[in-house]
Amino acid sequence: MQRPAWDDYFMEITGVVSRRSTCLRRQVGAIIVLDNRILATGYNGAPAGMRHCLETGCMREQQGIPSGERHELCRGLHAEQNAILQAAVHGIPIAGGIFYVTHQPCILCAKMIANARIAKVVYRGDYPDRLSLAVFEESGIELARYEV
């Protein structure tokens, strides 16, 4: 099956957005699209007004926390969270939209995406979190891996 032509375009943009990330471990970019229009963007990094890991060092690395575990032990917000928050702050409805993300969302982001009533998630890279896959399946959100 051939993928929609817009997928290439939007996945390229997620890569550009990810370059704003201040995470020392993984640079993630996300965009929310509805009717082929970009509604919000997000990248992973510390909350507004807080010092970034580039300045403080990585708490997760310092404590030896493996990727995909103990999400609460991190200064940063995930790209998906930041995109949802950006839409909320600016009063932009995102229900029914498509999330394009550089990496598979984690369980925390999967639950937020489900509650935001996103219709579909397109992602490129893997992330070690099988619980998120179960959330997408049970909530009926279409999950599509983007293949280059």
The catalytic residue positions are 80
Q: How far apart are CA 7 and CA 36, in angstroms?
A: 10
Q: How far apart are CA 28 and CA 71, in angstroms?
A: 15
The phi and psi torsions of 67 (rounded to 5 degrees) equal -60, 140
- Tell me 120's DSSP state: E
Q: Is 23 annotated as a binding residue?
A: no
Q: What is the dihedral of CA 68, 4, 120, 20, to 10 degrees?
A: 50
Of 86, 98, 87, 106, give the one whose Cα is nearest residue 122: 98
Q: Is 106 annotated as a binding residue?
A: yes
- Residues of the binding site for Zn(2+): 78, 106, 109
- Residues of the binding site: 78, 106, 109
